[in-house]
Amino acid sequence: MIDFVKRLFGQSGSSATAKERLRLVLLSDHLSLAPELIDQMKHDLVEVISRYVQVDKSKIEVGVERQDASVALMANIPIVSVHRPSGGTPTDTASPPIASPPAPSTASASVAAAPNVSSPGLDRAAGTQAQRRKRRRKGAAPGAPAPAVTPAHAT
């Protein structure tokens, strides 16, 4: 009788729960069984991000975390310095110096500006910082892990 009442009010039986639980558990099973996939993804992520900023390749952490109702890719990619567009770096001058961070990632950006910075570059770097702070506030949505940003030590 209770079951009947439950169903009357649109609550499905336990099969829906089983399906959702299986979906999540198989997703994390498949990811943990494919370390080479994570490695390849890490390699590609670094390649893309390196076009814009210099990252510390030895401290990169990419992993998969199980949350309440989803499985998320977590990337922790420390930034060493920002490529200056004038310096013939692969950065395209038309695009903004900092690309949108890859999907749900925690960008732990420890930014230290390079020593001999010429003034236009410094301006640009300062702009970058402002942008970054702004992004941080925006990014601090409820539930989303706030990226830890260390202020730059401009020389």
Partner 1 sequence: MLVDADIGLRNLDLVLGLEKRIVFDLVEVVEGRCQLRQALIKDKRFESLFLLPAAQTRDKDAITPEQFAALIDGLDEYADVVLIDCPAGIEGGFRNAIAGAKEAIVVTTPEVSAIRDADRVVGKLNERNLPIRLILNRIRPEMVRSGDMLSVEDVCEILSVELLGIVPDDEEVIDTTNRGEPIVLNEAARLRPIYDKIARRLDGELVPFTNLDAGGFFGRLFSSLKAG
DSSP letters, 29-64, are: HHHHT-HHHHHHHHHHHHHHHHTTEEE-GGG-EEEE
Count of Cβ atoms closer than 10 Å to residue 119 Cβ: 7
| Pick 16 or 146: Cβ nearer partner 1 | 16
| Distance of closest approach, residue 23 Cβ to partner 1, in angstroms | 7
Residue tagged 């013939």 (tokens): 88
Nearer CB in complex with partner 1: 6/57: 6
- In the complex, the smallest distance separating the C-beta of residue 18 from partner 1, rounded to whole angstroms, is 5
The nearer residue to partner 1, 3 or 47, going by C-beta atoms, is: 3
Query: Closest approach of Cβ 88 to partner 1, in Å?
Result: 46
Q: 40 or 150: whose CB is closer to partner 1?
A: 40
CA distance 22 to 17: 8
List of residues contacting partner 1 (CB under 8 A): 3, 7, 12-16, 18-19, 21-23, 25-26, 29-30, 33
Bridge partners, residue 149, by sequence: 109
Distance in Å, CB of 136 to partner 1, minimum: 39
Contacts of 4 (CB under 8 A, 6+ apart): none
